[in-house]
A and B are shown apart, each in its own frame.
Chain A
Amino acid sequence: MTRSADDSMGALNAGKLRAAERRESITTLALSLPAIIAVCVVIVIPVGWLFSLSFLDSSGQLSLVNYQKMIEYKSYMRVFRTTFNVSFLTTFLCILIGYPLAYFLSQVPKKYVGLLMLTVLLPFWTSLLVRTYAWLVMLQRNGLINNFAIDLGIWDTPVKLAHNLNGTLIGMVHIMLPFLVLPLYAAMRRIDRQALQAAANLGATPVQAFWQIFVPLSLPGVVAGSLIVFVLCLGFYVTPAVLGGGKVILVSMQITAILEDQFNWGAASALGVVLLVATFIVLLVASRFLKLDAVMFGRR
């Protein structure tokens, strides 16, 4: 090793070491470049374009008419209310069904988890459209479920399961379930088994240990899963469109309707922008109560 001229000024090798550090951070940054470009092309530019469209009226003039209409017409408000109600109900039902499932998965020996997880994930890998229409077949008036229930005498006349809120919820819950179960399962696996043993040792019955130790410790997983499900529900289109049969109108369907019937890009964009803002508000509110990144990426 020889000493170069610039070293003689400062501390030994300080210049070289700084340069090496800089090089390293630039290399790391370069790795994320493709992703940054993709995000720009696929998300930032289209959303920005939609955003600007929403401030133009039908003649292309700058105006707030699209947002004005949304306040004036009660039907818009109703669509937003329905969207939030359906999203909330779906999330709630997902927790109700998903929590016991995730709990079961977290308690079975690890060697069986792979196989069981497959049953959770298998539908995940099937086309969304296929699953949605499969539900339609099962839920319709003379579908599998109605025929079965009548044959078994559970109910006498066909129950309306599709083309209404029932169908929408059944389909959405089924499709959203893995998004809840996976983070919840991960959170439950991280719970220290010895903490539960300690609870038992200190006198807690299995039920007390579950409610006072296990449930509170699994809450970050519940919150993470619910947040994902809720946010995905807000913009869900295919399943509610098919299984709701036009009776349950969500924002996404309203946007399609405006585009197909009126070809009004401005109004459709405004709806999209409001939905996006609403979603951000949900995330913002959630992040006020908990560390969002910790919830999403696992807390130790």
Chain B
Amino acid sequence: MTSDTAASLSISVTALTKTYGDFFALNNVSIDVKAGEFLTLLGPSGSGKTTLLMAIAGFNRPDSGRICFGDDDVTVLPPHKRGVGMVFQNYALFPHMSVFENVAFPLKLRKIAADEKHRRVTEALKTVQLSDFSERGIDQLSGGQRQRVALARAFVFGPKILLMDEPLSALDKKLREEMQIELKQLHRQLGVTTVYVTHDQREALTMSDRIAVINDGELAQVGTPRDIYNAPASHFVASFIGESSFVPLTRDKAGALLYDGAKIAKAPENRSPGNGGERNWSLVIRPERLSLQPPKAGKTASKIQFHGHITELVYQGETAIVMIRLKDGQMLTARMNTRAGDDVDTLAIGQQLTVAIDKKDMIIIPGEAQ
């Protein structure tokens, strides 16, 4: 397709808009995916993430905007000329062909010679650990095996871009987690630019170089998993990725943010969308960042303390969830370690307690807590 000999191509999406009637599936979305990068489109169902992926694959035609692979404008190129590999949500294998024939299909279309074809299919099946299954029919495979065939078929012809549409959503939890690691390793091995769609925030955090959070057809935030988790830009991102409690803050005339009358931070500046002039701000608290304080602990400058009583205790194995009602009625969720000797074993519903968050772990976002 291009003269580029690298293993991967960058993708550049500019001002892409797609409407269905009055509904904006994509509203002026621009995003650049670097060559070789693993980018995840993360969003709730109906957010437009699949629409964007299908537009990149060429299966739906945007109303306006531009899509480039490397330097080539592919906006109006039909899907069969785009040369991207794709793994579909329900695998979309060809049920009338064997595993070998499925994987050989793209090579057959490219008129690759028989022995070369055989070599590449064998190699691809080996990569996905299905060497012994090449003569099987598709209906003789388990879900995880079908997933691997779909994967082998998508990369066997050496595409420079790989697209995946919730490829693991049909697998059970344990297998899904194994496959996440395998996909990540495969990506490292192939070095191919990968765009991955999922609604599972943990999957996105596990696999991605960068995550693009999509909501209502618009990009909510783009960043590395750490960026997205540690510095969510909005209420939506903070609540969609990870668990969060939101505590409303007030802002005094000097621009300082107050909680319970005490100054805890300066209002951040130049942060979209409030641009620092926002009246209302919220403190985002990740449950695992809260720590239990001894009953008589004094105040420290580096921590903010919350006093309340326990309304619910949930034991989950490696951690336990402690729900706390503060004196002003505000709810907080804390996640505590269950290691022997930790205080979580001594807690009981109704008990008064103090928890604290390190100021370095604070996340402050514009807008009122919802």
Q: List chain B residues, Cβ under 8 A from A195.
A: 92-95
Q: Is there contact, CB below 8 Å, between B57 and A217?
A: no
Q: Is there contact, CB below 8 Å, between A198 and B110?
A: no
Q: List chain A residues, Cβ under 8 A from B85.
A: 201-202
A53 CB to closest chain B CB (Å) equals 47
Q: List chain A residues, Cβ under 8 A from B105.
A: 199, 202, 204, 212
Q: Which of B57, B58, B109: most chain A Cβ within 10 A? A: B109
Number of A interface residues, CB 8 Å? 19
Indicate which residue in B58, B89, B90, B109 contacts A202 across the interface (CB closer than 8 Å).
B109
Q: List chain B residues, Cβ under 8 A from A202.
A: 80, 85, 105-106, 109, 153-154, 157
Q: Is there contact, CB below 8 Å, between B80 and A203?
A: yes
Given the known inter-chain contacts A216-B96, A217-B95, please indicate yes or no for A201 contacting B79, CB distance below 8 A: yes
Proximity string of chain B (88-121) to chain A, C-beta cutoff 8 Å, 1 when within and 0 when not: 1110111110000000011001100000000000
Q: List chain A residues, Cβ under 8 A from B59.
A: 197, 200-201
Proximity string of chain A (166-209) to chain B, C-beta cutoff 8 Å, 1 when within and 0 when not: 00000000000000000000000000101101111111111011
Q: Is there contact, CB below 8 Å, between B157 and A203?
A: yes
CA of A216 to CA of B97, assembled, Å: 10
A101 CB to closest chain B CB (Å) equals 23
Q: List chain B residues, Cβ under 8 A from A200.
A: 58-59, 78-80
CB contacts under 8 Å to B, within A25-45, are: none
Q: Is there contact, CB below 8 Å, between A203 and B96?
A: no
Given the known inter-chain contacts A200-B79, A201-B79, A202-B157, please indicate yes or no for A192 contacting B90, CB distance below 8 A: yes
Number of residue pairs A-B, CB distance < 8 angstroms: 65
CA of A197 to CA of B110, assembled, Å: 17
CA of A74 to CA of B106, assembled, Å: 56
Q: Is there contact, CB below 8 Å, between A203 and B92?
A: no
Q: List chain B residues, Cβ under 8 A from A197.
A: 57, 59, 79, 86, 88, 92
Q: List chain A residues, Cβ under 8 A from B95.
A: 195, 217
Given the known inter-chain contacts A192-B90, A194-B88, please indicate yes or no for A201 contacting B80, CB distance below 8 A: yes
Tell me whether B84 is interfacial, beta carbon within 8 Å: yes
Q: Is there contact, CB below 8 Å, between A213 and B94?
A: yes
CB contacts under 8 Å to A, within B51-105, are: 57-59, 78-80, 82-86, 88-90, 92-96, 105
Q: Is there contact, CB below 8 Å, between B80 and A204?
A: yes
CA of A194 to CA of B94, assembled, Å: 10
Q: Is there contact, CB below 8 Å, between A201 and B109?
A: no
Q: List chain A residues, Cβ under 8 A from B80.
A: 200-206, 209
Q: List chain A residues, Cβ under 8 A from B96.
A: 216-217
Q: Is there contact, CB below 8 Å, between A198 and B109?
A: no
Given the known inter-chain contacts A192-B92, A203-B157, A204-B109, please indicate yes or no for A198 contacting B86, CB distance below 8 A: yes
Q: Is there contact, CB below 8 Å, between A194 and B92?
A: yes
Q: Is there contact, CB below 8 Å, between A201 and B57?
A: yes
Q: Is there contact, CB below 8 Å, between B109 and A208?
A: yes
A213 CB to closest chain B CB (Å) equals 6
Q: List chain B residues, Cβ under 8 A from A201.
A: 57-59, 79-80, 82, 84-86
Q: List chain A residues, Cβ under 8 A from B109.
A: 202-204, 208
CA of A16 to CA of B105, assembled, Å: 57
Q: List chain A residues, Cβ under 8 A from B92.
A: 192, 194-195, 197-198
CA of A201 to CA of B82, assembled, Å: 8
Proximity string of chain B (158-183) to chain A, C-beta cutoff 8 Å, 1 when within and 0 when not: 00000000000000000000000000
B99 CB to closest chain A CB (Å) equals 15
A204 CB to closest chain B CB (Å) equals 6
Q: List chain A residues, Cβ under 8 A from B83.
A: 203
B156 CB to closest chain A CB (Å) equals 9
CA of A192 to CA of B88, assembled, Å: 11
B153 CB to closest chain A CB (Å) equals 7
Q: Which of A194, A198, A206: most chain B Cβ within 10 A? A: A198
Q: List chain B residues, Cβ under 8 A from A205.
A: 80
CA of A204 to CA of B102, assembled, Å: 13
Proximity string of chain A (214-227) to chain B, C-beta cutoff 8 Å, 1 when within and 0 when not: 00110000000000
A297 CB to closest chain B CB (Å) equals 17
Q: List chain A residues, Cβ under 8 A from B110.
A: 203
Q: Which of B78, B90, B105, B157: most chain A Cβ within 10 A? A: B105
CA of A199 to CA of B58, assembled, Å: 13
Q: Which residue of A lies closest to B87 (CB)?
A: A198
Given contacts A198-B88, A201-B82, A204-B109, 16 further A-B contacts (CB under 8 A): A192-B92, A195-B94, A197-B79, A197-B88, A198-B93, A198-B153, A199-B94, A200-B58, A200-B59, A200-B79, A201-B57, A202-B157, A205-B80, A212-B105, A217-B95, A217-B96
Write 23 A-B pairs (CB below 8 A) sorted by A numbering. A194-B92, A195-B92, A195-B94, A197-B57, A197-B92, A198-B86, A198-B88, A198-B93, A198-B153, A199-B105, A200-B78, A200-B80, A201-B58, A201-B84, A201-B86, A202-B105, A202-B106, A202-B157, A203-B80, A203-B109, A204-B105, A206-B80, A217-B94
Q: Which residues of A contact B (CB under 8 A)?
A: 192, 194-195, 197-206, 208-209, 212-213, 216-217
Q: Which residues of B contact A (CB under 8 A)?
A: 57-59, 78-80, 82-86, 88-90, 92-96, 105-106, 109-110, 153-154, 157
